[in-house]
Amino acid sequence: MTFRLAIVGRPNVGKSTLFNRLVGRKLALVDDQPGVTRDLREGQARLGPLRFTVVDSAGLEDATDDSLQGRMRRLTERAVDEADVCLFLIDARQGVTPTDEIFADILRRKSAHVILAANKSEGRAGESGYLEAFSLGLGEPIRLSGEHGEGMEDLLSVLMPLAEEFEARDAQTAEEAPETDVDLGWFGEETEEDAEAAEDWRPSEKRPLQIAVVGRPNAGKSTLINQILGEERLLTGPEAGITRDAISIPMQWEGTPVRIFDTAGMRKRAKVTDKLEKLSVSDGLRAVRFAEVVVVLLDADIPFEQQDLRIADLAEREGRAVVVAVNKWDLVPDREARLAALKEAFERLLPQLRGAPLVTVSARTGRGLDRLHAAIVKAHEVWNRRVPTAQLNRWLLGMTEAHPPPAPGGRRIRMRYMTQVKARPPAFVIMSTHPEDVPASYERYLVNGLRESFDLKGTPIRVILRDAGAKNPYKGKKGPGGPSALRKHLG
């Protein structure tokens, strides 16, 4: 029993608050100022026994030109066209406005199922606005409070018969569909192949590859994702900072199941003073932590600014596989010289990501997207790679013989054993004597050797040194077997 419900209405009527209430998580940014939401955000909603897809939309503006408000309106109208049910919210405390009347007329013509709700109806302040809602001619409105959760039972009672209607429609469609000649096996019986697949890290429909696209404002992140999708799914334009929410979009990209996160542009912390921008950047940082591969998108005109380096370093510190993409490459003259300069700067400025793929793309024309896809899949494979313990210990012996660890204070450091303890990203433990005395330069020598020897280029590598020194069996003991007896025995 599933259907698609779009929440629409003027700016600041509480659409995102209600969206968060239905999905049970604070996915959408919420603030008192109008126009916070600009893109379409989807989530899986739960309301009583119902499970359905809910879409949070931008506030409907009375604009039809190519301005930002006009583009937002067209995106919302598209959500209305694709939805099974439209939940039209008005602000009960403000009452019905001329803009509400315009959009009520649009919804009557565009959508077969429209539910009218007077949000912010808690208390007596929303009484008059609730009564005014009858004048819109969309039936009896529902009293709601997205913030306090009031009116959810009434919404459920209205949605239930619609859900049953959609379920009957889907059942009829399934009956009319041709039968498959594929053997589906015994339902509920797990095969050995299924068990192996569950342990496989490779992307699947149930566990798609998580990709976050990050970068400075106006680098072209939303345009790039729209080009990958093949449709204008995300709001774009010449204005910097259009994207505010971290929007996740599931899709098939050249046969690979992925979920792509579009994030807000990240400026220097000193320049971020607006509360809403702080929320947007925080939302983007959560997307980075949730992702498996982070695509750092640069502007070809001004690559590797200080903020770009901070963003890439953040992804590395969070332990994510990193792919660097240089956008607007179609506008670059003398591309061979520029590419050589970019690679040199990348190796020099981000040594902790040595070997990470650097791909040139054009989000406007789609050029280079095939290479970007291949680089992301490869980075994800390296991020999940495991190296057998026997190979690691042979490698460690060769590395220490070629370049022995230092002997600070005359104490020789012996590295005795090595194993990989985890992947995603690869992490290794080395049992060593005096691990606290191993200098950072020698740890870098080992990390760089791991990258080269086991093709771990571009992924974060964690090396943990643990004490393997022989313990004094008499330490902490007293009496006949304690230190005094040992000294006496030794004379």
**238's tokens:** 């010449």
Binding site annotation covers 384? no
Q: Is 477 annotated as a binding residue?
A: no
Q: Is 76 annotated as a binding residue?
A: no
Question: Has 220 been labeled as part of a binding site?
Answer: yes
Relative to beta strand 358-360, strand 415-422 is unpaired
Residue 260: count other Cβ atoms within 10 Å of its Cβ. 27
φ and ψ of 61, to 5 deg: -115, 150
Question: Is 57 within any annotated ligand binding site?
Answer: yes
Q: Please tell me whether 268 is known to bind a ligand.
A: no
60 known member of a binding site = yes
Look up residue 180 and give its DSSP letter: P
Q: Return d(Cα 289, Cα 401) in angstroms, integer.
A: 38
- Sheet of 427-432: strands edge to edge? 415-422, 427-432, 462-467
The total of other beta-carbon atoms located within 10 Å of residue 424's CB is 17
* Residue 121 among known ligand-binding residues: yes
Question: 265 a known binding residue?
Answer: yes
Say whether 188 counts as a known binding-site residue: no
Is 401 annotated in a binding site? The answer is no
Identify whether the C-beta of residue 335 lies closer than 8 Å to the C-beta of residue 295. no
* Alpha-helical segments (H) within 350-439: 369-383, 389-402
At residue 187, the 3 state secondary structure works out as coil
CA dihedral 451, 456, 462, 466 (to 10 degrees): -60
**43 marked among binding-site residues:** no
Residue 487 marked as a ligand binder: no
Closest CA to 430 of 413, 406, 411, 454: 413
CA distance 398 to 298: 39
**Annotated binding residue at 412?**
no
The Cα-based distances of 359 to 237, 258, 372, 376, 379 in angstroms read 23, 19, 6, 10, 12
- Does 128 appear as a known binding residue? no
Q: Is 154 annotated as a binding residue?
A: no
The answer to whether 286 is a known ligand-binding residue is no
Q: What is the DSSP string of 214-263?
A: EESTTSSHHHHHHHHHTS--S---SSTT---S-EEEEEEETTEEEEEEE-
Q: 366: annotated binding-site residue?
A: no
Neighbours of 453 (CB within 10 A): 14
Distance CA 61, CA 102 (A): 10
Does 14 belong to an annotated binding site?
A: yes
476 belongs to an annotated ligand binding site: no
Write out the two tokens for 100.
């509400």
SS3 482: coil
User: Residue 248 contacts by C-beta under 8 Å, 6 or more apart in sequence?
Assistant: 259, 260, 261, 287
Contacts made by residues 269-276, CB under 8 angstroms, sequence distance 24+: 275/31, 276/29, 276/31, 276/33, 276/36, 276/244
Q: Are 368 and 360 in contact (CB under 8 A)?
A: yes
For residues 217 and 281, is the Cβ–Cβ distance under 8 A?
Answer: no
Residue pair 4/52 in contact (Cβ under 8 Å)? The answer is yes
| Residue 120 known to bind ligand | yes
**Does the annotation list 243 as a binding residue?**
no
Dmax (CA) for the chain in angstroms is 106
283 annotated binding-site participant: no
Q: Is 264 annotated as a binding residue?
A: yes
Please enumerate, by residue number, every residue annotated as part of a binding site for GTP: 9-16, 56-60, 119-122, 215-222, 262-266, 327-330
Please enumerate, by residue number, every residue annotated as part of a binding site: 9-16, 56-60, 119-122, 215-222, 262-266, 327-330
